[in-house]
Amino acid sequence: MNKTGNVKQYLLWFAHENIEFRLPEVKSLLSLLNIEMAFIQKPKPTEPFWIVRFNKEEDVKELAKRSVSLKFCLELWAFSESSSELHDQLKTHPKQFYESYFSSEKSFKIEVETFCKHFNQKQKLNKINQFEYLPWKGPVKLKDPDLCLQYIEYYGTDPNESPVLPYYMFFGRLITKGLRQLIQTLSLKTRKFIGNTSMDPQFSLLMANQAKVKNGDIILDPFVGSGSLLVAAAHFGAYVLGTDIDYLMLHGRTKPTRVRQKERQVDESIKNNMKQYNLSHKYLDILVNDFSISFWRSDFKWDAIITDPPYGIRESTDRVGTEKRNFLLNEKYLTTHIPSKVEYGISNIYRDLLLFSAEHLKLGGRLICWFPIFRKIIKKRVYLLILVSN
């Protein structure tokens, strides 16, 4: 690794999980926010960092406000494969460079982080002391300093085969952190109403970001279940509506999901989930509906459709229908009749979903959904992004 010229560089550091969603999420957000980003060097999919360039620092902050994959971002002052070269790079910065950051009025601190290796406090302090040549002026402040600097050592991704010396070292100014804390805020553990297949908050937020949800959008989840995807979309400013064929689920009358909970509480509902997160003003409605029988006006358009269709494993795949031929219902039974259901195969679900999206998505609107596949005899879910333009 070599520092290239005087171009201001940024280090994006990501959470090392669900790495296959990292690039699609960032690409979607760059498009949504109209931000330009260029790679200084092509990243490796397995590494948790990117070295990139933005037109201005405000763009980095705007991206971080929405990204749940991103942990933090640094203005990168130096990076190298060797400690001596890293310090040489820092020593070659002109005096004017440091004067813009260091002053007697500004407090500062240095944080030491390692990836795939553990340092104790003494080892971290020794690392910090190696930067004593920097022109510090202000006081050290460990909590909420004016300037936070970070030194990172990267030892690969396998903790069982960490090298003696790090592969790469980075040093820079912390600019901002990503939206990772929102995953805990929306945790299913503390949510009012959940079901057997409630979507994990991290995946819900990733899907909303890939759908490019923005303030004022109108979003539909046609297989809404317990409404996890609506929570994520509403958090980003969308008005949300959901439909589902499961009457008992939508009315909070299914068997409780939580361990040791014997019966549902009377106020368990998607609407109360929205109220829990102060999103009631974004809630439109929830409708009991058989998706195979569309009742929407043909000219009604959605900004995005975000959904997780049932696969027939933990949730049944049903639609209204009967296997009886030439079945007619006597008129006197209409008021009390509960329609029978038949199997709604996965291929039919996705066919209907694509046809519905082609008709009811706005130009450039996105359908974001999961699609089940079998890979090496292990069932996995694959994240499917379909951009539908009509």
Question: What is the tens place of the pLDDT at every residue in 354-378?
Answer: 999 999 999 999 999 998 877 665 5
Terminal-to-terminal C-alpha distance of the chain = 45
Token readout for 121 is 């406090």
Report which listed range, 269-273, 287-291, 295-299, is most confident: 269-273
Higher pLDDT, 291 or 311: 291
pLDDT value at position 315? 64
Total residues found in the chain within this entry: 390
With 50 as the cut, is the pLDDT of residue 62 above it? yes
Q: How far apart are CA 56 and CA 75, in angstroms?
A: 11
Token readout for 70 is 């991103």
Question: pLDDT by residue (tens digit) across 265-277?
Answer: 999 999 999 999 9
Domains and CATH numbers, the chain: 9-179 (3.30.2130.30), 183-387 (3.40.50.150)
Give 218: exposed, middle or buried? Use CB within 10 Å, 0-12, 13-18, 19+: middle
Q: How far apart are CA 209 and CA 94, in angstroms?
A: 40
* Percentage of residues in the chain having pLDDT higher than 90: 74
Closest CA to 69 of 153, 132, 13, 130: 13
Average pLDDT, the chain: 90
> 282: which DSSP letter?
G
Question: pLDDT by residue (tens digit) across 227-240?
Answer: 999 999 999 999 99
pLDDT value at position 4? 43
Q: How far apart are CA 164 and CA 321, in angstroms?
A: 66
Q: How far apart are CA 94 and CA 99, in angstroms?
A: 9
> 140: which DSSP letter?
B
Q: How far apart are CA 19 and CA 23, in angstroms?
A: 8
Which bin fits 242, alpha (ψ -120 to 50), beta or left (φ > 0)?
beta
> What integer is the mean pLDDT of 45-71?
96
Q: How far apart are CA 154 and CA 5, in angstroms?
A: 23
pLDDT value at position 351? 93
Confidence of residue 318 (pLDDT cuts 50, 70, 90): confident
